[in-house]
Structure formats: C-alpha cells, structure tokens
C-alpha cells in the first residue's frame, strides 16, 4: 500500500526526532521511521549512558578525596557496578519515555521498522519513496511516498581489520556498555574523545587503563596546550598513555588478550581491549544506489542546506560529513526543516559549534584554536588558571585553565578553550557570546557573580586586554 506524507524522516536519533518535531510544529504531516529505539545512539549507546557512568565515576573520585574536605569515611568504598548500570538504565529509560511522549504529543506517525529508499517507480516518478519493513512479525511491507525525505541514519563504531570486534574481549563503545563486570585491566586503542572519556571513567572505578594512540598527542582536534594538559592530568591519575604507538594485532587467550605493539618484541596482556577510533556514517543498506544521491565512505554529500544531489532529499547528522555531535545533528535537523518550509535557512558555522569532552578534568572549546586559525590572523591570547579561582579551589578542582583568542584587528572573539571543572557547562557562555558577536572586552566587562567558575572566563577575556584583575 502507498501512503502519502509531507515529510518522512529515516532515523529517529537526536537529529531525526528533532527534525520531526520541528516539522510537526509547522503543521506538516510527519512520518518518522526508526528500526531500533527513539533517541538513537546518543540516548541508548552514547552520550547519555556514558555520561551517567562518568557521573558515578565523579562521585567515586569525590569520595576518595573526602579526607581533604575534612570528612573521614570509615571503611572502604565498594563499587557495585550492577547498581551503577541500573541507575544508568533508569536515566535512559526516563529520557526515552520523554522522547516517545514528545513524538505522540506532536502527532508524528512513528513507524518501527527499517526503511529503504526507492528510485523512480510506479509509486513516484522521482526517487524518494521509502519501502518500510516493519519490526512487527507478519506485518506486510508498506510504501511511503513523501514530498520531502530527510535521511538521519546516524553512525556506527569504526573497527580495524587486525582488531576484529567480538564485543566480548575486543569491544567497541557499544560493547563496553553491555559489560556486566568491570575488567581489572584494559587497553584502549585511540586517544580521541571516546577513548579518553572511557579511560577517565574506568580509571575512577578502579580499572588499570592504558591508552594507545598512533598520533603524537591526545584529542588531536583540540589545541596542543589542551592536549598536553589533559595528558598530564590523566597521567597524574594513573592512566598510562602510549603516544605514537601502533597496535598491529591481538590474540584472544584464556587469560585475556595479547596485544602486539609495533616495535615491541613481547606482547602486552590485558583483560579487555576497547577500539575507540571514531565512528563511520551509516550509508550502506539504505537503497541510495537506487537514486542519484551521491555518497562515499565519509557520508552522504549535501549542500549548505543539507540537500543531497536530489533536491527533495535531505540528509543530516552523523550520516553526512560534518561534526559527529548530537547537538549538531539537532541543529541540522531544524535547519533542514526550515529550508523545506521556507526554501531558505540560515547556514551553520561549524567552527563556532561548542565541543565537549567529559573526562576528569573536563575539556570544552568553541571557535578556533591556535593551530586552526586562518593564516594571516593577527591575534592576542588571554589566559587564566583555575588555581586562582576561588570556586574551583572550594570544589577541590584547581587544575586547568581558560584560554581566550582575540583578533587584534577586529576585536572579535575567535575562540576559547577550557580544561578544568565543569568546562562543558561553562562553554555555553562563550558560545552565546560568539553567537551575539561580543568582543572579549565585552565578555570580560559583563558582571560575573562571585565566587563562580565563570569568573575564570571573565579574567581570561580581560587578559586579552592586559586588564585581568587576579592574574
């Protein structure tokens, strides 16, 4: 049966369901097709569950330092990983119910099944009809014919041919979330965002962690100064970090996994191995070969308004070659719908998208770093250490700093990097300042309450003018 709809969204992750809600708010008849669970990777296998684990790890760190706050705990603190996982799942379930409620409230037709895009056929003279195979056993396939199609199929963990995932001994980030017990030792292959976040939380929960990174520094998309400070802090916590090291293979043994490291004669044995080398766009098996939509291993090709090479078909989120961040997918979904409705929309400046790493200490940045500045920029830098911030010291987190980059010629705020307590929350102030075209001086002259962590941003901004008070 052919069912007509104004817009069909293929994928119910953060980008997909936000696009669906925005379209429904504008009075469109919306069909949302999801083969698994609403919320996608972010809600069920990424952002939310890992941050719930990180919160438990943060509490554990605080308990370890209780004595420094004048609190004497009697006996050892015991880690009950089963309860940690139960709390994590309860949070996921609550948010999942919330998303389901939003979809229902906005009268969005939710289809639980797998969709495949069709080329021109008896159902439609142009590509974009979608054949849906329902999850419900025995239910016959339907054909949906949308006026506009948005592809939001997300991404999956990358793997390596010489480190085949079995999700028991050699695991992806998905497999890590299925572990019922914590290993005693683990090797994490990859020092990017996913790798360092897992290293941080596992270390806090008592796991002996070693990171193997092929590059010469961690989190290569951040500034070199941030990378250096993060390595220093993770090392201080007991996390081993092996830079410029390549893992050439792994052999599963009865007592764990033997890793072969390039240039080393003897293998390294660990209980578990996590492969954290990024994520790949989900573009295969969607039926795109039936259309003239262009795509590659990097994702579906789109223009600045998220239109594919077939203008009535859009793509957003991790399945296109932009920043693989949930908040980016959400914004792309909103902008794609705006373009569908108005035939115009704002364009997203990806440089000014905030980037967050939920390690301990946290890392966050927005705008340019010194390494990514366009050539010819005449800049000055302001910095401020959390060691001089009263609120940071009160909370026991004086490590880290704020760095602000200013364009000397235009006075523009070009970028801010933060490593320290609650950096991922603090970055929103700077993101808003850049959006509103505020200068570092304006950011610094705005009154900040005392004592707060945000005063570190104020001082670093004033430092670009040599006006910092407490430096």
Instruction: Give catalytic residues, as residue numbers.
Output: 450
- Cα separation, 59 vs 85, whole angstroms: 15
Place of tokens 């003897």: 266
Axis-axis angle for helices 423-435, 455-463 (nearest 10): 50
Please, what is the end-to-end C-alpha distance for the chain in angstroms?
Answer: 70
Q: Which residues make Cβ contacts (< 8 Å) with residue 56, sequence separation at least 6?
A: 84, 87, 88, 201, 205
- Inter-residue contact 197 to 247 (CB < 8 Å): no
Report which of 140, 139, 144 is spatially closest to residue 118, judged by C-alpha positions. Answer: 144
- Is residue 168 within 8 Å of 25, Cβ to Cβ? no
Torsion-angle region of residue 80: left (phi > 0), alpha (psi -120 to 50) or beta? beta
Q: Among positive and negative, which fits the CA dihedral 114, 166, 192, 457?
A: positive
Task: Calculate the dihedral angle through the C-alpha atoms of 323, 325, 330, 336, rounding to the nearest 10 degrees.
Answer: 20
Q: List Cα–Cα distances, 181 to 176, 202, 203, 401, 404, in angstroms.
A: 10, 11, 14, 35, 42
Structure tokens at 213: 């990174």
């Amino acid at each position: 049966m052919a069912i007509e709809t104004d817009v069909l969204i293929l994928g119910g992750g953060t980008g997909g369901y936000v696009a669906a809600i925005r379209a429904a708010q504008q009075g469109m008849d919306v069909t949302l097709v999801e083969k698994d669970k609403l919320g996608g990777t972010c809600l069920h296998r990424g952002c939310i569950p890992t941050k719930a684990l990180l919160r438990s790890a943060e509490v554990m760190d605080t308990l370890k330092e209780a004595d420094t706050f004048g609190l004497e705990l009697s006996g050892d603190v015991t880690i009950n990983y089963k309860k940690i996982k139960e709390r994590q799942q309860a949070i996921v379930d609550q948010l999942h119910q919330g998303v389901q409620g939003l979809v229902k409230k906005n009268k969005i037709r939710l289809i639980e099944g797998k969709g495949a895009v069709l080329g021109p056929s008896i159902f439609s003279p142009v590509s974009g009809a979608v054949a849906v195979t329902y999850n419900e056993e025995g239910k016959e396939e339907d054909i949906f014919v949308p006026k506009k199609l948005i592809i939001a199929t997300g991404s999956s963990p990358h793997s390596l041919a010489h480190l085949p995932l079995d999700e028991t001994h050699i695991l992806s980030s998905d497999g890590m979330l299925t572990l019922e017990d914590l290993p005693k030792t683990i090797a994490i292959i990859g020092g990017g965002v996913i790798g360092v976040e897992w290293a941080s939380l596992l270390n806090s929960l008592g796991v002996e962690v070693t990171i193997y990174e092929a590059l010469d520094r961690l989190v290569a998309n951040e500034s070199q100064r941030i990378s250096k400070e993060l390595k220093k802090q993770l090392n201080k916590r007991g996390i081993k970090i092996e830079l410029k090291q390549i893992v050439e293979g792994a052999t599963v043994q009865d007592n764990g996994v033997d890793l072969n490291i390039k240039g080393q004669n003897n293998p390294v044995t660990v209980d578990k191995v996590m492969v954290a080398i990024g994520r790949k766009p989900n573009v295969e098996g969607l039926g795109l070969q039936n259309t003239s939509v262009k795509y590659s291993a990097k994702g579906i090709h789109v223009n600045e308004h998220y239109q594919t090479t077939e203008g009535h078909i859009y793509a957003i989120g991790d399945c296109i070659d932009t920043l693989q961040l949930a908040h980016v997918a959400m914004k792309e979904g909103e902008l794609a719908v705006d373009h569908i409705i108005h035939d115009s929309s704002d364009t997203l400046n990806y440089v000014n998208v905030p980037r967050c790493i939920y390690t301990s200490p946290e890392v966050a940045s927005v705008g340019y770093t010194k390494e990514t500045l366009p050539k010819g920029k005449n800049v000055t830098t302001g910095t401020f250490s959390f060691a001089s911030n009263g609120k940071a010291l009160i909370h026991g987190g004086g490590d880290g700093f704020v760095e602000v980059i200013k364009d000397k010629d235009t006075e523009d705020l070009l970028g801010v990097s933060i490593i320290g307590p609650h950096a991922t929350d603090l970055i929103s102030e700077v993101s808003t300042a850049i959006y509103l075209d505020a200068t570092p001086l304006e950011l610094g002259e705005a009154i900040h309450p005392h004592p707060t962590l945000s005063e570190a941003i104020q001082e670093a901004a004033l430092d670009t003018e040599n006006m910092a008070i407490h430096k």
